[in-house]
Structure 1
Amino acid sequence: MSATPISSTPILRTVLVWSGTVTAILAVVGAVVGFLVAGADGLWSALAGVLIAALFLGITAASILIANRWFGDALYVPIFFGIVLGGWILKFAVFLIALFVLRDQPWIVGPVFFLALVASVLASLVIDVVVLMRMRVPHVSDVELPTDADAGDRRDDAPGAS
């Protein structure tokens, strides 16, 4: 594993921090609105929608951050894609489990759950856009440049070198 940071690492960390904050805010707002609309069942439906969205959206960023720890390793690319693909498979399995567990629950108020889920996903998309627009990442990143700007591709053992 390499100690060299990848340019996506600060972006993903910022996204996770902002997403955690917005998830907490949405959980409180959703719980209050859900309670006002449908009582205790609405409260739990909103919390379930917000937390499921946060879990699904957080798995991708977390899996990329975990995979980036192997940057610089000879097996970085297969490790990276293995971890990210594993995260997607985990999300699919959790989605199916959540679907089968929650579909017949009497405390789920469908519209409240759906709106909380959609609001969370939209908030996550807004966070992604805002963070990416505010971060200063060069067009070409994670590249080592020569330290001597005048040297370029010059080699001392080249014919005609002094």
Structure 2
Amino acid sequence: MSASPVSSTPILRTVLVWSGSVTAALAVVGAVVGYLVAGTDGLWSALAGVVIAALFLGITAASILIANRWFGDALYVPIFFGIVLGGWLLKFVVFLVALFVLRDQPWIETSVFFVALVVSVLASLAIDVIVLLRMRVPVVDVELPSDPDAGDRTDDSGAAS
């Protein structure tokens, strides 16, 4: 594994930090609103919707961050796509398990759950857009020399011959 940074790493880390903060805020707001709308069942439904959305949206960013650790390795591309595909398969399995576990639960208020899930996904998409618009990403992952004329010098005076 190489220590070379990939230009997407700071973006994904920022997305994960912001998403964590917004998820915590949505969990609190969703729990309060869910409780006011549908009592204790609404509270748990809102929390379940927010947590499921956060889990699904965090798996993709986390899998890319993990895969970026192999940047510079000869097998980087297959490792990267293997890890990201594994994350997608994990999300599919978690989705099926959540679907089968939650579908017949008496405490799920479907409208509260749905609204919490949709609001969480929209908040995550907004975070992605805001972070991508604010981040400055280099076009090429290279390190430039500090003095562009250093390669032309032939003596210590700094004048090119």
Which residue is 2:38 aligned to?
Answer: 38
Distance (Å, rounded) in 1 between the aligned partners of 2:147 and 2:23? 48
Distance (Å, rounded) in 2 between the aligned partners of 1:112 and 1:79? 39
Which residue is 1:157 aligned to?
Answer: none
Q: Deviations over 1:71-105 (max 9, x none)?
A: 00000000000000000000000000000000000
Which residue is 1:60 aligned to?
Answer: 60
Distance (Å, rounded) in 1 between the aligned partners of 2:106 and 2:54? 23
* Unaligned 5+ runs, structure 1: 153-162
Distance (Å, rounded) in 2 between the aligned partners of 1:88 and 1:55? 12
Distance (Å, rounded) in 1 between the aligned partners of 2:140 and 2:97? 39
Q: Deviations over 1:44-87 (max 9, x none)?
A: 00000000000000000000000000000000000000000000
Distance (Å, rounded) in 2 between the aligned partners of 1:105 and 1:48? 12
Which residue is 2:142 aligned to?
Answer: 143
Partner SS, residue 6 of structure 2: coil
Partner SS, residue 7 of structure 1: coil
* Unaligned 5+ runs, structure 2: 152-161
| TM-score normalised by structure 1 residue count | 0.89
Which residue is 1:134 aligned to?
Answer: 134
Which residue is 1:7 aligned to?
Answer: 7
1:87 aligns with 2:99: no
Change (3 A) 1:78 1:147: farther
Distance (Å, rounded) in 1 between the aligned partners of 2:143 and 2:55? 36
Letter aligned with residue 96 of structure 1: L
Distance (Å, rounded) in 2 between the aligned partners of 1:125 and 1:36? 27
Which residue is 2:106 aligned to?
Answer: 106
Letter aligned with residue 89 of structure 1: L
Partner SS, residue 83 of structure 1: helix
Q: Which aligned runs of 4 or more in structure 1 are off by greater than 2 angstroms?
A: 143-152
Partner SS, residue 118 of structure 1: helix
